[in-house]
Amino acid sequence: MKKMKIMIFGSKGMVGRSLVRILSNSDTVGELIASSRDDTNLFSLDETMLKMKKEKPDIVINAAAKVGGIHANNTKRTEFIFQNLKINMNILEASISFPETKIINLGSSCIYPLNAENPIKEDSLMTGELEPTNSPYAIAKIAAIEMGRALNKQYSHQVVNLMPTNLYGPYDNFSEMDSHVIPGLIMRMHKAKVASNDTFKIWGSGTPLREFLYVDDLAEAVLFLLDKSCENDLYNVGFGEEISIMDLAFKIKNIINFQGELDFDSSMPDGNPRKLIDTTRLNDLGWRPITNLDTGLEQTYRWYLENNIN
């Protein structure tokens, strides 16, 4: 089998770094181009086109995105829709002249409607209203799917869209206001432990149910699909189990060994009350995740300790 030339856009993000590490060790990959903003400004169509013409990859993986948690999505709505639209438009438009290049586009399960039936199937796309706190980001990701379908119909590109559930792992964004739930809780609770705080406040009631996927499992799903001829263009990628935010917080409390009390602030938004995605379509091809939540959280906290102590 011919070894493939792979180019990853967004190679220095959490997903991109995992992809680079896992694909670099694969026998199916002959050459790996790890592209980032250091070599290509994805807000520029000209620069993105030049990169495609220079490299002429067999497969392009779009792992580039502006991402964040509920607070970031809800307060930086303009940045989230404009920046993600620009990235997706430029990568896909730059690919028009390369119909033999397979495109793997990474999105998010937030593309699905707020009241979609759980577990959420791929067919739920565009069947209802989006969750309002992150609708700009979701619309940008939905637009990428529709643009990929246009490319396929008009120019015969093979575009595969992967919609992972909530991701976490090494190189995540551990910040006070802009993080997703797991890195935000790890960072803030660790600091509360160091400060010997008696209580730790958590936004929301703690009742929403969420599903989490360790980032390396997503990278393994991409690797699994590199040489597959897919019947569908949209695949959910999830772990298949859900947990309440409250139970998640107590797991993290135990891993960090925080001795204080957890205080849930129900005046803050919860977001979607439940979101579990259906991964039957991908599972039927033979892919399964391997990293359970306890193991993934321990590995993520260990990475945080080794890399983020100030």
CB 256 within 8 A of CB 190: yes
Beta-strand (E) ranges in 19-156?
A: 29-35, 59-62, 102-106
Name the 3-class secondary structure at 37. Answer: coil
DSSP at 111: G
Tell me how crowded residue 152 is: count the other CB atoms within 10 A of its CB: 15
Task: Using CB atoms within 10 Å of the CB of residue 269, give its burial: 0 to 12 exposed, 13 to 18 middle, 19+ buried.
Answer: middle
Structure confidence at residue 67 (pLDDT): 86
Give yes or no: 137 in active site: yes
Structure confidence at residue 72 (pLDDT): 76
CB 59 within 8 A of CB 106: no
Distance CA 102, CA 3 (A): 14
pLDDT in tens, the chain (310 residues): 579 999 999 999 999 999 999 999 999 999 999 999 999 999 999 999 999 999 999 999 999 999 877 777 788 899 999 999 999 999 999 999 999 999 999 999 999 999 899 999 999 999 999 988 889 999 999 999 999 999 999 999 999 999 999 999 999 999 877 788 999 999 999 999 999 999 999 989 999 999 999 999 999 999 999 999 899 999 999 999 999 999 999 999 999 999 999 999 998 878 778 889 999 999 999 999 999 999 999 999 999 999 975 5
Distance CA 151, CA 197 (A): 54
Helix (H) / strand (E) containing 214: strand 212-214
Distance CA 141, CA 163 (A): 9
Active-site option among 137, 235, 301, 304:
137
Name the residue with tokens 């976490």: 168
Distance CA 145, CA 126 (A): 11
Structure confidence at residue 2 (pLDDT): 77
Name the 3-class secondary structure at 124. Answer: helix
CB 166 within 8 A of CB 277: no
Distance CA 201, CA 193 (A): 13
Partners of 213 in the beta sheet? 167
Distance CA 177, CA 40 (A): 28
Phi/psi zone of residue 66: left (φ > 0), alpha (ψ -120 to 50 degrees), beta?
beta
Residues making up the chain, counted from first to last: 310
